[in-house]
Amino acid sequence: MKTNLSYIKYCLQFLWKFASQPSTKLLLTVICLPVLLVFISSAVGAKQPSDDLSLWQVYQRSLQQAKYVDLTHTITPQIPVWVGFGSSTFAPSVNPKTGKPYTYKTDGFEATHYDLSTDQLGTQLDPPAHWAPNYPAIDELPPTYTIRPLIVIPIQDKVTKNPGYHLSVADILEWEKKHGKIPAGSVVFVRSDWSKEWPNPELAKRKQFPGVKLEALKFLHLQRQILFHGHEPLDTDTTPNLEGEAWLLHNGYAQAEGVANLDKIPEAGALVAIGYPKFQGGTGGYARYIAICPPNWKYGVSVNQIPESPLPKAAKPLHWDEKLGVRVR
């Protein structure tokens, strides 16, 4: 840059010297000034790479004003889980040297030790490797499993009459009659309101619960090319051989289980953010699903509507509850 500028300066001085008449000097100025301005602006422009800020604009115009609704159950040692896995326990993290737990009072911090009997716990994402070892484990899902259009198909009225009702192709077609064709690559959650009783541990023992018919799963994947479906209960259906889950996982499809708050989401028009930790060779995912709903939607919170950073201070401090085996306020 400096060399270029010196060269320009030298040329201008040289020309100036030879332009004896004032009119020649004026002409020289009129010719040189625009050239100089173009040169300077392009030099400054080269210093500032042109960032592609289109995604930031998308955020500012659309995602920031959207309404965020959590579709995730809180994991505690008491939540419903299949009896075949046994229970999980939480404890304060311990200093291996002293064998004593770290405490806010003594150490200035706390951490948590989890003994989790299964990765099939709470709101989760089943990778196909849960049943089929030749298909991806939770850490092998591609990073494009991140944000998708969210469809909510309601069967809760039918479940009220028949607690063992299963989603059918007719229910899907009824949704499409109201909202249009399900976009390829979407996530489809089935609203049954089964989760309204969560965390009643009895839920995991019930033989009858709302499910999804195999024909519906095949229709969603083979005719509509969805990314994955999700349901509120801990299993896909009530057939003796779990035919729906078997077909999904043995054919390389993932599924969401234990999804919550589907009564707070529009049937069409929301997005879902999909998050889960990346445990190597994991056969289940402790997942986080957050629905991003249109700005005028009646439920949820928008960015800046609540204190986010700093977060609000609570009157009651967190402390370990020995009986519940979990940190509470």
> Where in 174-233 is the site for a second copy (CB under 8 A)?
178-179, 183, 185, 221, 225-228
Phi and psi (nearest 5°) for 263? Answer: -80, -5
Answer for the pair 276, 75: CB distance below 8 angstroms, yes or no. no
Q: First-to-last CA distance in the chain?
A: 61
**What are the CA-CA distances from residue 304 to residues 47, 144, 271 (Å)?**
34, 27, 19
| Only segment of 21-29, 202-210, 232-240, 316-324 that touches a second copy (CB under 8 A) | 316-324
* Residue 167 Cβ vs a second copy, minimum distance, rounded to whole Å: 18
Q: How far is the CB of 9 from a second copy (least distance, A)?
A: 25
Question: Are the C-beta atoms of residues 327 and 114 closer than 8 Å to each other?
Answer: no
Binding positions for a second copy, 137-156, rule CB under 8 A? 137, 139-149
* Closest distance to a second copy from the beta carbon of 212 (Å): 16
Contact range with a second copy by CB under 8 A, out of 22-30, 152-160, 231-239, 320-328: 320-328
List the one residue out of 324, 291, 317 whose CA is nearest residue 66: 291
Angle between the 2-18 and 22-47 helix axes, to the nearest 10 degrees? 170
| Distance between CA atoms of residues 94 and 110, nearest Å | 9
Residue closer to a second copy by CB (options 239, 251) is: 251
Q: Which of residues 243-302 bind a second copy (CB under 8 A)?
A: 251-254, 266-271, 273-284, 286-288, 290, 292-294, 296-297, 300-302
- Of 12 and 63, CB closest to a second copy: 63
- Interface with a second copy in residues 71-90 (CB under 8 A): 72-76, 84-86, 90
Q: Which of 28, 118, 158, 235 binds a second copy (CB under 8 A)?
A: 118
Closest contact distance (angstroms) between CB of 284 and a second copy is: 6
Q: In the complex with a second copy, which residue's Cβ is closer, 13 or 304?
A: 304
State which residue, 165 or 221, has the beta carbon closest to a second copy.
221
Among 115, 157, 197, 263, binds a second copy (CB under 8 A): 115
Report angle CA 208, 213, 218 to the nearest 5 degrees.
155
Could you say which residues in the range 43-62 bind a second copy, by CB under 8 A? 47-49, 51-56, 58-60, 62
Nearest approach, Cβ of 83 to a second copy (angstroms)? 8
The CA angle 251-253-258, to the nearest 5 degrees, is: 135
DSSP string of 149-183? EEEEEE-HHHHHH-TT-EE-HHHHHHHHHHH-SPP
Assign 91 to helix, strand or coil: strand
Q: Is 129 left (phi over 0), alpha (psi -120 to 50) or beta?
A: alpha
127/165 with CB nearer a second copy: 127
Can residue 38 be called a binding residue for a second copy (CB under 8 A)?
no
Q: Which of 209, 262, 205, 267 is nearest to 233 (CA)?
A: 209
Considering beta carbons, is residue 244 or 282 the nearer one to a second copy? 282
> Which CB atom, from 28 or from 294, has the smaller least distance to a second copy?
294
The footprint of a second copy on this chain (CB under 8 A) covers a number of residues equal to 134
Q: How far is the CB of 33 from a second copy (least distance, A)?
A: 27
> What is the distance between the alpha carbons of residues 165 and 218, in angstroms, rounded to a whole number?
18
257 DSSP β-pair partners: 124
Between 120 and 139, how does the x/- string for binding to a second copy read (CB under 8 A)? x-xx---xxxxxxxxxxx-x
